[in-house]
Amino acid sequence: MVSVAQQNENQLTFLTQSSLVKRNYRMMQGFFSNLGHYQKFFQMIFVLGIGGNLIVGYQISVINYPSVYIKRFMNESWLERTGAPLNEKMLIFLWSFAVSVYGVGGLLGCLCSGFLTVKYGKKKCQLSTDLLVILTTIVMICSKRAKCFEMVLLGRFGYGISSGLCQAIHCQYAGEISPKKWRGLANATSGFFWSLGKCWGQILGLRELLGTDSSWPLLLAFPGVAAFLQLLLLPFFPESPSYLLIQEGDEEGCLKAMHQLWGQGDHKEELEELKKEMVPGGQRSKVLWPGELFHDASLRQQLSILVAVIVTVQFCGINAVYFYAFEVLQNAGLEERLIPYIALGIGFSELFSSFICIFTIEQYGRRPLLWKGCGSMALVLFFLTGTLSLQKSLPWMSLCSVILIFLLVILFGVGPRKSGSLLLPSLCHRALWLWDILLLIPSRDKRQICSRDHRGIQQIIFGKETCCSREKFQ
């Protein structure tokens, strides 16, 4: 016999689940009903993505696949010039330089982005970045025909600079053109396009497509196609409303941009919020440098939270999992020819979690997703440590390790990776993180950084994975 208390408990659980389903349905229904009203806004989010973080994510994953062919090209070019092949140490050095110079270029691009976006605006900077990507693509395509491996090094450096600019501009631009209720979704799309770019690089890098000895220049030239497409489409969209008002003092242009992006309506509340951030006297906002931020007592709490979130994301163990994924898959008894496809599956898992995060971030909030995601990842890592330790004695543990890796990537995408990065724009902070260095590049005045609902510092993350060439996938 089922007790009355148990029946009430079951009924309460059913009602809770039903209300949750109805809430999710209403949220999705509201989203699709607003597509027409905010049509221009969603179109611009897509245009920003294809020339922004899509390129960054693509560059991170694509360099792994043609590594054998590029090293062979370097050796053959040197042999034709000097009559002697490169020694092994020199070849390793050149390849390592080709991979790591991308991060150096990204750092330089980030350092320039704060000044450039304040002075010239996000739209002009993004269009100029597209031109840089196209120019770099031409250099990369011509490298093999010119038999000059230095052009590959130069191309990687150029791609790094453009990626540093792209992601900084993309994150900030997407946040500034979004109305308050869509701000979380807009910022989440930057991570989605990042993951989409990584998956696209893994797809095109397969041997059946462009991952061959004759096609690798075309494989590395894909960012030029995305940049060219954005170069054609972005001029039809407005500059950031906040830039027009705060930096240019153009209130009429700001309202026009709001109406163009958000539809006809009363946007006085958003306009008043932007006016509060203007420097008294109508002067241009001053660019703050890192030292000025750390010496400002009013910003210490926000900066402390920012540093804590960034450190959590970096030390959550995902880089180690990505780096040793090949060994785990190999020990699981998978054939070597299948491993690139399994790696592609891992990439799609991250893409899936990014897509889920877009629709859940506003409903559940940044903080719950962050700490619940970290807690779940800690539990998965605990079991993953056990399965890795036992897989030599118990072969079936290798399969468990593969499943846990997929689960870990999904939790990372929904938790620390996306909600952590989205928490920073909500606090008006974006971070520049390169390897183990944290750099802050402010883009506006102190009043805007303190404002609760606006964005003031760019973010660019070039994790250690940018310098991890997984040649073993070849």
Structure tokens at 157: 């450096």
pLDDT value of position 217? 94
Q: 10-residue block means of pLDDT along the chain (474 residues)? A: 56 55 56 68 94 91 86 92 89 89 88 86 95 96 92 95 91 88 81 88 89 92 96 95 88 91 81 76 59 71 76 71 68 75 84 78 73 86 87 84 88 71 45 36 35 34 36 38
Tell me the pTM: 0.77
pLDDT value of position 13? 58
pLDDT value of position 471? 40
Decide the pairing of beta strands 437-439 and 460-462.
unpaired
Domains of the chain: 37-237 (1.20.1250.20), 288-462 (1.20.1250.20)
pLDDT value of position 324? 65
pLDDT value of position 107? 84
pLDDT value of position 32? 54
